[in-house]
Amino acid sequence: MRKKIIAAIVAVAALLAAFKAGTVFGAGSASPGSQGDPLVTLSYLNSRLEGISGDTGGTSAAGGGFSRVSLTKGQSLILGDGSELVVYSGNGTVLGTTGMLSLTDSQLFAAGTSAVLYAHFLGIGSASGVKASGNMTIYVKGGYRIE
C-alpha cells in the first residue's frame, strides 16, 4: 500500500514538473493568430474578409478595403505598384519581372511559382500579379487590371 502511495505522489510530481516546464518554455502562451501562433484558419480569414464583395474592375473598395475579384482559367490579374492581394480560392502562378512579396512570411515569390492560398501578397514591380490556372477568387486592395 505504501509503495502505491509513493508511486502516486511521484506521478503527480512528474506531471506538475512537466506542466511547469511547458509554461516556462512558452507552450500554449501565444494567443491564436499572433506572431507566436501564426496559423491562419479559414474561419479567421472569413471573419477578416466578411462583408467584402463585388468586382470593382480596377480599384479596391471605397475606404481602402479589399475587393473580391473572380478570375477564370487563363485570366491574369495585374497589380498596381504597392497594391495587395490574397488568394482566397483556386490556384495560379505568380507574374511579373520581380514577382510578388508575401507579407505573410516575407518571402519573394518569383514569376512562374505557385501563388499560395491565403497568403497576403504585395505587388512590387511592373506587371506583378497572378495568372489563373483554373477558377480563382482573389481579394485585392489597391489598383489592378484584368487581362
Does residue 102 surpass a pLDDT of 70? Answer: yes
SS (H, E, C) the chain: CHHHHHHHHHHHHHHHHHHHHHHHCCCCCCCCCCCCCCCCCHHHHHHHCCCCCCCCCCCCCCCCCCEEEEECCCCEEEECCCCEEEEEECCEEEECCCCEEECCCCEEECCCCECCCCCEEEECCCCCEEEECCCEEEEEECCEEEC
Is residue 64 within 8 Å of residue 141, measured between CB atoms?
yes
The tens digit of pLDDT for each residue in 3-44 reads 888 888 988 888 888 777 766 665 555 665 566 666 667 777
Predicted local distance difference test score (pLDDT) of residue 127: 83
Where is pLDDT greater, at 119 or 125? 119
Is residue 130 within 8 Å of residue 102, measured between CB atoms?
no
Predicted local distance difference test score (pLDDT) of residue 69: 93
| CA pair distance 84, 104, nearest whole angstrom | 12
pTM: 0.59
Q: Please state the domain extents for the chain.
A: 1-31, 42-146
| Residue 45 burial class via C-beta count within 10 angstroms: exposed 0-12, middle 13-18, buried 19 and up | middle
User: 42-146: what CATH class?
Assistant: mainly beta
Which amino acid is present at 94?
A: V
Predicted local distance difference test score (pLDDT) of residue 56: 42
Q: Which residue has the cell 464583395?
A: 53
The tens digit of pLDDT for each residue in 41-85 reads 777 767 766 655 444 455 555 456 889 999 999 999 999 888 999
Is residue 80 within 8 Å of residue 144, measured between CB atoms?
yes
